[in-house]
Amino acid sequence: MLSTFVIQPERPDQPEVVALLDALDAYLASLYPPEANFILDVKALLAPEVSFFVARDGGRAVATGAYRRCAGEAATDGKTYGEIKRMFVGPAHRGQRLGQAMVQALEAHMRDAGCALALLETGAEQKAAVRLYESCGYKRRLVFGGYPDNGLSVYYGKLL
């Protein structure tokens, strides 16, 4: 039940959070070649333009999500945006709508920070992620942020 989960901003360099990030990295490495994984490492997640969130169940870290505030660019018609990154729900907590709750928490924080647009890049092979983002109202869009149009990535956006 979702009411047991607490989602809040936290540091990404905590050992149990790093373990979740490592699990995500291993999963992505099993699907894509290294050059197709656009991962922010822990150091990058500590940057001032990144807001990192952890979902906890009974105090234990079970999911992560982040967004990076980005300046406007031609692909966003000059609008600043928040780019969703590092979304991961541990296997034991999947199927409980925790991913949706994390996306909603990130979107609320983005709106509060003045972002009117949320964008993301995910892999085409990540079927559950694609379903999640589409169920949260994200629509496919063209490439942005300097990502390559490599045929392995899909790009999504949502007005907040």
Q: What's the DSSP call for residue 35? A: G
- Give yes or no for residue 1 having a pLDDT over 70: no
Whole-number pLDDT of residue 126:
95
Distance (Å, whole) CA 145 – CA 131: 22
- Asked whether the beta carbons of 30 and 40 are under 8 A apart, the reply is no
Distance (Å, whole) CA 3 – CA 58: 11
Q: Helices 127-135 and 98-112, interaxial angle, to 10°?
A: 50
**Where in the chain are the domains?**
2-159
Distance (Å, whole) CA 137 – CA 36: 25
- What are the structure tokens assigned to 82, written together? 């928040």
- 12, 83, 125, 147 from 152: Cα distances, Å: 27, 18, 8, 11
Q: Which residue type sits at 117? A: L
| Mean local confidence (pLDDT), 131-159 | 96
Whole-number pLDDT of residue 3:
54
- Asked whether the beta carbons of 82 and 50 are under 8 A apart, the reply is no
Tell me the CATH number of domain 2-159, given options 3.40.630.30, 1.10.10.10, 3.40.190.10, 3.10.129.10: 3.40.630.30
Give the model's confidence band at 31: pLDDT under 50 very low, under 70 low, under 90 confident, else very high.
very high
- What's the distance, CA 30 to chain centroid? 18
SS3 (DSSP) at 36: helix
Instruction: Report phi then psi at 141, rounded to 5.
Output: -145, 175
75 versus 1: which is more confidently predicted? 75
